Structure 1
Amino acid sequence: MPDSDEEAQEQAQIVWGVRLCLWQLKAVRTILKGQDVLTIAPTGAGKTLVYWLVLAFVKDGCIIVVTPLKDLGSQFKAELKAKGFSALNVTGNIVTDEVYKEIALLKYHVVIFSPESMVKDHRFNDLLNNQTFM
């Protein structure tokens, strides 16, 4: 957890090359305190950066991202890998029991799901009920 807003700003600059807005700082600090956050902002305002920045401070967890667009999931995965974070975009052609085991063992910093893959696959609910994962 950053000790100050300045530390969070420094990490944002080092890792992502940006300066955070006040609402982004507040959201990051709230997430790092273990509280839920709902962020509503226009397209391109930097909502995604909020949870990407959390990766700079939480090394032993996994962020689940839900996106209805396959291309956006692929874009997120590429951006994260370019910054040195492990990411998995769960699509129909890679969903195996082995993949879910890897997710449960926290092999990935970020796992990207479509809403359909979460609803239609019982293994997603199993993952959320897994004490090791949660």
Structure 2
Amino acid sequence: MRVNYIFYAVALVQLGMLSVLPPQAAGGQRQGREQLSAQERAWFDTFQQGTLYARGWKDITSTILAKAPVELKSDLQRNLEELGAKIGREWSKSNDIRKIDSEMLRQWGNMLERTAECEPAKIPQVVATLNQKVVALLD
């Protein structure tokens, strides 16, 4: 059952979705990661790094940043890292309690990928919108 979710996460990542951490960047990611159980940390790492079958959030972030206007990259990277950490921490939870599922990842990935391809200047607005959705789900 969990393997199906990994496959979906991988597909989502390939669609251009997975990649963000807290505003404190890597330090914030580690701190949030430390609050997870060993099994959740493994899923969090899978989300961030990807697998043989799917790109991870870090790779997706790199792809999006490569298409973003230069003047937006610094803030955008921080915001993508923050978002990725929030999403990854929630997605790594047990299927029966998590509030973010693989279908959401697919939709959000498609949204990010389309924006990066067609309207790169609007990537920050899409990231902000996704962040608001995630925050609302987690409240």
TM-score of Structure 1 vs Structure 2, range by shorter chain: under 0.3
TM-score normalised per structure 1: 0.26
Normalized per residue, the structure richer in strand is 1
Between 1 and 2, higher relative CO (CA 8 Å, sep ≥ 6) is seen in 2
